[in-house]
Amino acid sequence: MGKKIKSIKEKIEIGKQYSLEDAINLVKESSYTKFDETIDLSVNLGIDPRKSEQMVRGTVVLPHGIGKKVRVLVFAKGEKEKEALDTGADFVGAEDLIEKIGKGWLDFDKAVATPDVMGLVGKLGKILGPRGLMPNPKLGTVTFDIAKVVKEIKSGKVEYKAEKAGIVHVSIGKVSFDSNKLSDNANSVIESILKSKPATSKGKYLKKLSISSTMGPGLTIDITSLGKGV
C-alpha cells in the first residue's frame, strides 16, 4: 500500500487547481481501495450560515444517480399508502412505523410523508431531525405526490445543506462511474447551488470547490474553468 500511496502523491501537484474533468479523472486514477469509493464534491460558499436568510439548502436529481440503493420510508395512510408501495417505497405505514422508530429502528435512508400524517410524524422530530431524516416541505418530502417523490429519490435525488462554516458536501457517485457521468452529476449539483444563491449574499459566492474520494486526496477545482459565469 505504501508504494501505491507514494505513486498517487507523485501524480498530484500541491497547490494546483484542476479543471473539473481532470480532477475527476485523477480522483479515479488515485483510488487504491478494494471497495467502490464514493466521490464527494465540497463547495465553500461566501455566505454567513448564522443568518437564516443566507442559508443554502436544496435538492437536485443527479442524472446518473449516486450508485447505491436508497431505502425510502413513506409515512402515509389509505390510497397514498398503496401508491407508495406500488412506486417502490421500501417501508410504508403510519402509527406502526412511528412506534418502531420511537423504539430505535432507523434502517432507512430517506423519509417522505403526506401532509395529513405530519402531526403524528412530528413526534419523531428529536430522533429524525438530527439525522437529517425528518420529512420537510421545503425539500419536497412532505407531499401528496408520493409517486413522483419516491421515483425521484430512487433515481438519484440528493439533498444538500450548508454547514456552519458555509460548506456544502454532496456525493456525486462512485469511483466506478464513467468520468462523463460523474461530470454530469457534479455540474447538476453546482448549477443547483448557483440557483440557490441568497439575495443577501455579497461578494464571491463560490469561493472554493474541491473533489475527493472516500480514502483519496482532495483536489481543488479551478472555478473559472466551469464556464457558468462564476
pLDDT tier at 81, thresholds 50, 70, 90: very high
Alpha-carbon span 109 to 153, nearest angstrom: 10
pLDDT at 15: 81
Q: Report pLDDT for 219.
A: 92
Contact (CB, 8 A) for 219 and 210: yes
The whole-angstrom separation of Cα 179 and Cα 192 is: 20
Beta strands in the chain (DSSP E): 17-18, 38-45, 57-61, 72-75, 91-93, 110-113, 157-161, 167-174, 206-213, 219-221
User: In the predicted model, what is the mean pLDDT of residues 91-95?
Assistant: 96
How many other CB atoms sit within 10 Å of the CB of residue 133? 18
Instruction: Check pLDDT > 80 for residue 9.
Output: no
pLDDT at 230: 55
pLDDT band at residue 6 using 50, 70 and 90 as cut-offs = low
Q: In the numeric block, which cell numbers belong to residue 205? A: 459566492
Would you state the pLDDT for residue 29?
86
Of 11 and 3, which is predicted with more confidence? 11
Contact 218, 211 (CB under 8 A): yes
Q: Could you tell me the pLDDT band of residue 7, with boundaries at 50, 70 and 90?
A: low
Instruction: Give residue 98's pLDDT.
Output: 96
Within a 10 A sphere around the Cβ of 90, how many other Cβ atoms?
18
The two beta strands, 219-221 and 206-213, are antiparallel
Structural domains present in the chain: 14-66+157-226 (3.30.190.20), 72-154 (3.40.50.790)
pLDDT, one tens digit per residue, over 193-228 is: 999 999 888 889 999 999 999 888 889 999 988 875
Q: What is the pTM of this model?
A: 0.78
Q: Which residue has the cell 459566492?
A: 205
Per-residue confidence (pLDDT) for residue 13, from 0 to 100: 76
3-state DSSP call for residue 177?
coil
pLDDT at 21: 94
* pLDDT tens profile 52-73: 899 898 999 999 988 888 999 9
